[in-house]
Amino acid sequence: MSQPTYNNDRTTGNCGYSSPAGPNVQDFQSGTSQETCSDRPHYRTDLNNIAKKYRLKLQYQDECRGPPHNCYWHSTALIGGIPFGFGSAPNKGSAHEAAAQQASEILRSQGFTP
């Protein structure tokens, strides 16, 4: 049985296991598993730092669409009440991250730095 390989590709954002099943129990027990991709960009952190540095009011507006047991999250990053980024994902945190990425990129293009 082959071990799943961990892919840490920052250029495509693909950060995870190559096996569709993900890591198996032996990976966690042996310590060969990597649960996170620590060197990928953290857009929520960047956006929070920009908002704090420039005293901007950052909020997320969230909506869950679909059945409660299988909803899909849609988040909007608002700066001073103005939408700056939108993201959708199966979980709230990933939707926030996607919205923060758009907002962070827009603010950085305008000269704001974290």
pLDDT tens digits for range 60-104:
999 999 998 899 999 999 999 999 999 999 999 999 999 999 999
Read off φ and ψ for residue 51, nearest 5 degrees: -60, -40
pLDDT tens digits for range 6-58:
343 444 444 443 334 444 444 444 444 444 555 667 999 999 999 999 999 99
Q: What distance lies between CA 99 and its chain's CA centroid?
A: 8
Q: Would you list the DSSP string of 85-111?
A: EEEEESSHHHHHHHHHHHHHHHHHHTT
Q: What distance lies between CA 36 and its chain's CA centroid?
A: 12
